[in-house]
Structure formats: structure tokens, C-alpha cells
């Protein structure tokens, strides 16, 4: 009963297949935590930059001035890029003297395409967390089953089996399941949290598209030399 049953000893004493499973799960867990922290700060930046642009958008500045300012910035928010794509298409079609419906439809299509691109970027690596959360427990269970099989094969060669001889083999096998759960649980929790946050961002982007489309509709058909402005009261 004096055998070392610490986690480190159990990992080192495990069979090669179980050790490979544990190593893979450990690498997966480290990668998922890297993705989680990256997503936390990334989504926080997206929300902050979107809110800052919304305040500027509804501050009463001219849309042409705002469009020029957005074009001169280096790093922009998703809302800014959606605004720029819609405004650029709207001005292009207005210069061609197309009817008001064509101007609005073109701007909406441009904003929808930009919205989908932004959403794809925001959702990046989310599928990885979903895969880690769903697959890791089964990978850990595979390591456990293999370890138990290996332990029982070794016990078959013994004439007398006691708890002291069974415990190390079973324990080292169960460590694989524990590591699998350690990798899966944070990934599942983070995935659910990020999915909810991304849904809120998507709603914010879609709401902005509808509000901006209403503004463009009021300005559709105006001559290309006209000034398009927006004030708080236009919301």
C-alpha cells in the first residue's frame, strides 16, 4: 500500500497509449484556454469599439464627414466597416443617378455582405471550442478503457490479486477521463458564453443596418452634391 498514487506518478506509470491520450488532451486543453482568453479580450474590444462608433454616429455629424473619417482610420470596428461599405455603395449608385430603390437595395446588399464577413471573423475558433467540449470526454474515456484493459491483462498473470495491485492500474486509467473532463468543461462553458455574446453583437449589427437603411431611404434620390446628415432625432 506504499505505492505512489500521486497524479504525476500515475501519468508516468501509465501505458504508452494512455500517455499519448493524456498528452493530446493536455495540449488540447492548453489550446482551448488560449482561444478562450483570446475570445474574451477580442469580444470585449468589439463591443467597446462598436459602442464608441454608435455614439459618434448618432452625435449629429454629417454622414459624408463620418465616412471620410472612417476611411482615414487604421483599425476600425465592425460597425464602422458595415457603415463604410453601405455608404460607399450608396454614394456610388447615387452618382450614377439610379432611382431611390436601386440606391437603397445596393446599400443594403453591401451592408449584408459586410455583416456576414464580420460575423465570420467574430465567430472564428468557436467551432474549435465546440469540438473540444464534445470530443474530449470520449477521448479521455478511450484512454480509461485502454488503461483498464492493460491493467487487467497484467493482473491475469498474478496468482493473488489484492486492492493494492488493482488500485494503481485503475487509478492511472481514470486520470485520462479526468483530463478529458478538465479539457471539455471549460470549453463548453466558454462556448455557451461566447455564443450568447456573439448573438448580442449580431443583433446590434443587424439593428444598425436597419436604422442606417432608414436614414439612407430618406436620403435616397438626393443629388450627388447634396449633404447627407444625421442627428440624434433621426434615430
pLDDT in tens, 108-135: 999 999 999 999 999 989 999 999 999 9
Residue 164 lies in a domain: yes
- Of residues 99 and 55, the one with the higher pLDDT is 55
Residue 221 lies in a domain: yes
Q: What percent of the chain has pLDDT over 90?
A: 42
Q: Is 62 helix (H, G, I), strand (E, B) or coil?
A: strand
- Of residues 98 and 217, the one with the higher pLDDT is 217
Split into its structural domains, the chain has a count of 1
DSSP state, 59?
A: T
Q: Measured between alpha carbons, how far is 20 from 18 in angstroms, rounded to an integer?
A: 5
Q: Are 182 and 21 in contact (CB under 8 A)?
A: no
Confidence of residue 193 (pLDDT cuts 50, 70, 90): very high
Confidence of residue 172 (pLDDT cuts 50, 70, 90): confident
Q: Are 33 and 186 in contact (CB under 8 A)?
A: yes
For residue 29, is pLDDT > 90?
A: yes
- Of residues 194 and 165, the one with the higher pLDDT is 194
% helix / strand / coil in the chain, to the nearest 5? 80, 0, 20
Dihedrals φ, ψ of 169, to 5°?
-65, -45
Cβ neighbors of 78 (< 8 A, separation 6 or more) are: 46, 49, 50, 118, 121, 122, 201, 205
Cβ neighbors of 40 (< 8 A, separation 6 or more) are: none
DSSP assignment of 75-90:
S--HHHHHHHHHHHHH
pLDDT in tens, 127-160: 999 999 999 999 988 888 887 877 776 666 666 6
Residue 224 lies in a domain: yes
Q: Are 68 and 51 in contact (CB under 8 A)?
A: no
pLDDT (0 to 100) of residue 156: 63
pLDDT (0 to 100) of residue 166: 61
Residue 125 belongs to domain spanning: 7-234
Closest CA to 87 of 71, 75, 73, 101: 71
Amino acid at each position: 500500500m506504499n505505492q505512489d498514487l500521486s497524479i504525476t506518478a500515475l501519468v508516468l506509470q501509465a501505458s504508452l497509449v494512455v500517455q499519448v491520450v493524456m498528452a493530446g488532451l493536455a495540449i488540447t486543453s492548453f489550446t482551448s484556454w488560449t482561444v478562450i482568453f483570446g475570445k474574451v479580450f477580442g469580444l470585449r474590444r468589439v463591443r467597446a469599439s462598436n459602442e464608441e462608433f454608435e455614439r459618434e454616429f448618432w452625435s449629429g455629424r454629417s454622414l459624408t464627414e463620418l465616412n471620410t473619417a472612417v476611411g482615414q482610420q487604421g483599425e476600425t470596428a465592425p460597425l464602422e466597416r458595415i457603415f463604410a461599405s453601405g455608404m460607399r455603395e450608396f454614394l456610388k449608385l447615387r452618382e450614377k443617378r439610379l432611382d431611390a430603390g436601386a440606391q437603397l437595395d445596393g446599400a443594403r446588399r453591401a451592408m449584408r455582405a459586410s455583416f456576414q464577413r464580420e460575423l465570420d471573423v467574430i465567430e472564428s475558433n468557436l467551432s474549435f471550442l465546440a469540438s473540444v467540449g464534445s470530443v474530449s470526454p470520449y477521448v479521455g474515456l478511450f484512454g480509461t478503457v485502454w488503461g483498464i484493459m492493460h491493467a487487467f491483462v497484467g493482473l491475469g498473470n498474478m496468482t493473488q490479486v489484492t486492492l493494492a495491485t488493482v488500485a494503481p492500474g485503475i487509478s492511472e486509467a481514470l486520470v485520462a477521463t479526468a483530463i478529458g473532463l478538465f479539457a471539455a468543461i471549460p470549453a463548453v462553458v466558454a462556448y455557451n458564453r461566447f455564443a450568447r455574446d456573439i448573438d448580442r453583437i449580431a443583433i446590434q449589427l443587424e439593428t444598425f443596418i436597419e436604422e442606417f437603411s432608414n436614414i439612407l431611404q430618406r436620403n435616397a434620390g438626393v443629388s450627388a452634391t447634396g449633404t447627407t446628415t444625421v442627428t440624434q432625432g433621426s434615430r
